[in-house]
Amino acid sequence: MENKVVINENSFRRMEKKEKDLGVVYRRSIWKDIKKEIKANKMAIAACVFLAVIIVACLLAPLSPYDPNALSLADKFAEPSLKHPFGCDEFGRDYFTRALYGGRVSLLVGFSAMLVTVFIGTTIGIFSGYIGGKLDMLLMRFTDIFLALPSMLLMVVLNSFLKPSITTLVAVLSLFSWASVARITRAETMSLKERDYVIASRNLGAGSVQIAVKHILPNILGPVIVAASLGVASAILTESSLSFLGLGISVPNASWGSMLQGAQAFILDRPILAVYPGVLILLTVLSFNVLGDVLRSALEPKIVK
Amino acid sequence: MIKIILKKVAQVMVVMLLISIFSFAIIELAPGDISAMYITADMSAEEQAMVMEKLGLNKSPVERYWEWLKEALHGNWGYSLSYKLPAMGMLTKRLPSTILLMGTSLLVSLCLSIPLGLIAGYKKNTWIDNAISGFAYFGMSIPSFYFGMLMIILFTAILHWLPSSGMHSFGVNTPLDTAKHMIMPVMTMALSSMASKVRYVRANTIGQLSEEYVLAAKAKGTSGMTILFRHVLKNTLLPIITIVGMNMASLVCGSFIIESLFGWPGIGSFAMEAIGKQDYTIIMAYIMLSGFILVMGNFVADILYSFADPRIKRGIDVANGK
* Spatial separation of the C-alpha atoms in residues B166 and A250, rounded to whole Å: 29
B304 confidence band (pLDDT: 50, 70, 90) = confident
> Are A288 and A230 a contacting pair, CB within 8 Å?
yes
> What pLDDT score does A52 carry?
93
Instruction: Supply the range of the domain harboring residue A194.
Output: 18-68+84-298
Residues of A in contact with B140 (CB under 8 A): 285-286, 289
Q: Provide the 3-class DSSP secondary structure of residue B185.
A: helix
Residues of A in contact with B291 (CB under 8 A): 149-150, 153
Total of domains in chain A: 1
CA dihedral angle for residue B83, residue B85, residue B86, residue B87, rounded to 10 degrees: -20
Task: Tell me the average pLDDT across B62-83.
Answer: 80
* A264 falls within a domain: yes
How far B166 CA sits from the closest chain A CA (Å)? 16
* A3 falls within a domain: no
> What pLDDT score does A121 carry?
93
* Spatial separation of the C-alpha atoms in residues A41 and A51, rounded to whole Å: 16
Kindly state the percentage of chain B with pLDDT values over 90. Answer: 3
Task: Tell me the average pLDDT across B302-314.
Answer: 67
> What pLDDT score does A284 carry?
93
* A47 falls within a domain: yes
Pick B234 or A303 by higher pLDDT: B234
| Cross-chain Cβ contact B164/A268 below 8 Å | yes
Of B18, B283, B298, the CB nearest to A145: B18
B246-271 per-residue burial string, b: 16 or more CB within 10 A, e: under 16: bbbbbbbbbbbbbbbbbebbbbbbbb
Task: Tell me the average pLDDT across B178-201.
Answer: 86
User: Has residue B309 got a pLDDT over 80?
Assistant: no
* Spatial separation of the C-alpha atoms in residues A298 and B7, rounded to whole Å: 39
B142-180 per-residue burial string, b: 16 or more CB within 10 A, e: under 16: bbbbbbbbbbbbebbeeeeeebbeebeeeeeeeeeebeb
Whole-number mean pLDDT of chain B? Answer: 80
Residues in chain A whose Cβ is within 8 Å of chain B: 144-145, 148-154, 156-158, 160-163, 233, 237, 240-241, 244-245, 257, 260, 263-264, 267-268, 271, 274, 278, 281-282, 285-286, 289-290, 305
* A303 falls within a domain: no
* A209 falls within a domain: yes
Task: Look up the CATH number of the domain holding residue A124.
Answer: 1.10.3720.10
> What pLDDT score does B322 carry?
43
| Cross-chain Cβ contact B287/A241 below 8 Å | no
Other CB atoms within 10 A of residue A30 CB = 15
* Spatial separation of the C-alpha atoms in residues B98 and B95, rounded to whole Å: 5
Helices (H), B212-277: 212-219, 224-226, 233-262, 267-277
Pick A49 or B287 by higher pLDDT: A49
* A13 falls within a domain: no
Using 50 as the pLDDT threshold, list the residues of chain A that sit under it.
304-305
* A305 falls within a domain: no
* A7 falls within a domain: no
> What pLDDT score does A21 carry?
58
The contacts of residue A173 (CB under 8 Å, 6+ apart) are A109, A113, A117, A155, A235, A238, A239
- For the stretch B82-115, pLDDT in tens is 777 887 888 888 888 888 888 899 899 989 999 9
Kindly state the percentage of chain B with pLDDT values over 70. Answer: 88
Q: What are phi and psi of A74, to 5 degrees?
A: -65, -30
- For the stretch B139-167, pLDDT in tens is 888 988 889 888 888 888 788 887 777 77
Secondary structure letter of residue A94 according to DSSP: B
Which range among A59-73, B238-252, B264-278 has the greatest average pLDDT? B264-278
* Spatial separation of the C-alpha atoms in residues A28 and A14, rounded to whole Å: 23
Q: What are phi and psi of B79, to 5 degrees?
A: -100, 140
| CA angle, residues B33, B259, B269, in degrees to nearest 5 | 20
* Spatial separation of the C-alpha atoms in residues A235 and A232, rounded to whole Å: 5
